[in-house]
Structure 1
Amino acid sequence: MWFLKKADPLQLIGFQTYGTDTHLYIKGRALEDENIDLSEKSVLGLLVNTWKRFETDVVGNSKLILKLPDGKEHSFKTNREGYFYLYLTGSNLRAMCNKEGWLSYELSFADTTVKRKIIQENRFPGEMLIPAVEADFGIISDIDDTILHTGVVSLLKWRVIYNTFLKTPENRIPLKGASDFYHLLHRGCGGNNANPIFYVSNSPWNLYRYLEFFLKNNNFPRGPILLRSFRALFKKAASWELSHKYHEIQNILKTFPQLSIILIGDAGESDADIYREIARKYPKRILAIYLHSVKHRKKMDRIRNLYKDFKACPVLLVENSDQAIEHARKNGFIK
């Protein structure tokens, strides 16, 4: 039976992160491989997949090895929840990147036997993005109801639950034209730039593979996917200033002080408040804010009020991607 405990192989998931020419940042998690079928379509199968995502068997306090393309190796450990974080300073890391700025690396368990399990395939890939020097700007985008229909403004969040737990990522519908818009931004006004895109979401890391598959399956440009811990879902921040998303955006701005940013989100939750404060705090860094409209009159009225006399940067409430593309083209962001 599916609910009986079985001996699962171990895996290392390297999350797509970002760094600089002199700073390497690796993040991920060591887990038992539950063999989740992302193409599963039956209701029972989808429920089983959901259970597997959140009933994670982690590999805590385990020694790992990072191997870089130049052959250098670094040792580190997972924490008790199976997460691993590695910050290293170096030089000329960009020389190891491909033309899009991605640095590929390899992870492995230091011991071939962990938790009394023999690790047969002990090579796990990962990637870190170092934005190209030639990048015109960067893009920071929300995921839920910005590029992916989720239903955050639905009654009691029932659409969020249904869409996330009872739909395969293969059947999730992206917002019309969003992928085309993001590719245009990625290529920039020259048409061949490699402007970095950072996907920042309030979803937990348990959904990393799910969201990674969705972005790839719907032809969105690759970019770091920045989520939060499952435990944080139950700890409501005292204010949006202390939220995961606000913190992540500030980290990106501080990591790349010469990079201007376009912010993309939706009008359903706290994106508007966070983006307004970020633009106020970094007035010369934010090129524009695009907020996808939601079908909720009170929320839309609040957003219009919030930006009524705002002049730090252009702000556009859009019904569809065509409106955003037209605005971006007029402002010289895209070709």
Structure 2
Amino acid sequence: MSRKPPHPLVKLAFHVEHNVESWGWRVRRKLGLARPPRILPYRGYGNPRQAVIKARVLENRHVRPPWKRHTLLGSAVASWKRYNTVEIPRARVLARWGEHRWEGTTDEEGFLELWVEPPPEARAGWNDVELELLSPSPEGVERVRAPVLLAGPEAQFGVISDIDDTVIVTNVTNFLKRAWTLFLTEHRTRLPFEGVDAFYEALHLGSSGSAVNPIFYVSSSPWNLYEHLDEFLQLHRIPAGPLLLRDWGLSRTGFAPGGGHGHKLEKIRGLMGTLESLPFLLIGDSGQEDAEHYRTIVREFPGRIRCVYIRNVWHRAGREKELAFIAADIRAAGSEMLTVDDTVTAARHAASQGWIRWQEVAEVQAHQAEDVQARTLLDKLDREHG
């Protein structure tokens, strides 16, 4: 499906905005008023033939680490700093992977996306690539490590998962609750859906218990929340994976967030194309457009999607009928869509298909019970403290 080209005025506004920001940062830097640039590494991915190294170069706003933020005001200030970024366009970055070297340049919004051929010694699983900022010259040596996930021959399948209301309870269909979630809460106070950590770990390990199946997280959340979401996955021991998010604000293609979540389709198509030898499981929720997008992917990549799992969350009247039609379309296209009320149901189905080990279902059930207890306690504390 071709995308409608942006209006010329949108393109003009985009270039004016970014030229003004870039010029303003350079002027402030000459006056000694600008903060130094920093490289924010993202998780990349690929296969032994090609891989993408991802990062962004921004003015360093010195966001306080989570263990130093103890109040609502501190959380709000940290969120404001995450969103009020100053991107560094045309920054030159050197990437080192073993003995190999590549150089890349950031785009107008500070993003670096560098496609390379991994060195022969690269292994399946996570690999560290060192990134060094060449220009604008950093104050000191600015070097960071960007993880890159390579899918090896032992991988049985890949997993593509939504985040909001699939992994994390966010109530995205409620505007006020979503605003609170995005701007005023910390990853430490947000909870995953019950049993998600054990289920995703079981999918990661596969039926052999050592498959290293790659997991990818696709979301409508902005790139500004990357560190927040990555910390959330680590805190709750949910398997790490590349986060494919969305650029908010004015861009060369228009203004985001706009209507729909079509950007997810682009991200998923890219993954399917890069990892063309892998079948996939797709996981989403019933509250947005995940089922519709996954139906499109099933049709475009016949034989590649083993199953679509859709978590039942609050949604508008009539949604059940829509989901039933979509499930029928997916079956007709040669795959399957299962709507589930809890993680254990999905785990049992995955075990029955031979995608995970049966003993992992008991682990998912135990984690689900623990998470229910933790959520009940947190709700009680919230009520007691107003």
Does TM, normalized by the shorter one, top 0.5?
yes
Deviates more, 1:211-220 or 1:37-46: 37-46
Match of 1:33 in 2: 60
User: Is the aligned partner of 1:184 residue 2:202?
Assistant: yes
User: Is the aligned partner of 1:328 residue 2:356?
Assistant: no
**Distance of 1:297 and 1:76 partners within structure 2:** 46
Report the count of equivalent residues.
Answer: 318
**Distance of 1:133 and 1:41 partners within structure 2:** 45
1:237 offset after TM fit, Å?
6.5
Distance 1:237 1:8, change over 3 A: closer
Match of 2:72 in 1: 43
Alignment of 1:1-335 (within 5 A): 7-39=34-66, 40-70=69-99, 72-89=100-117, 92=120, 95-97=121-123, 101-111=125-135, 114=137, 118-154=138-174, 157-231=175-249, 234-235=255-256, 243-298=262-317, 299-308=319-328, 310-311=330-331, 312-335=334-357
1:138–1:261 Cα contact (<8 Å) kept: yes
% same residue: 33
Greater helix content:
2
Q: Which amino acid aligns with 1:135?
A: A
Q: Which amino acid aligns with 2:125?
A: G
Deviations 1:46-70 (A, max 9, x none): 1111110111122222222111122
1:41–1:168 Cα contact (<8 Å) kept: no
Unaligned runs of 5+ in 2: 1-31, 358-386
**Distance of 1:320 and 1:41 partners within structure 2:** 33
Q: Which amino acid aligns with 2:35?
A: D
1:239 offset after TM fit, Å?
6.5
1:17–1:226 Cα contact (<8 Å) kept: no
Q: Which amino acid aligns with 1:163?
A: T
**Distance of 1:124 and 1:310 partners within structure 2:** 43
Q: Which has the larger radius of gyration?
A: 2
TM-score w.r.t. the length of structure 1 is 0.89
1:38–1:168 Cα contact (<8 Å) kept: no
**Distance of 1:91 and 1:52 partners within structure 2:** 37
Q: What is the SS of the residue equivalent to 2:180?
A: helix
Q: What is the SS of the residue equivalent to 2:278?
A: coil
Deviates more, 1:255-264 or 1:22-31: 22-31
Q: Which amino acid aligns with 1:274?
A: H
Unaligned runs of 5+ in 1: none
1:252 offset after TM fit, Å?
1.1
- Aligned alpha-carbon RMSD (Å): 2.1
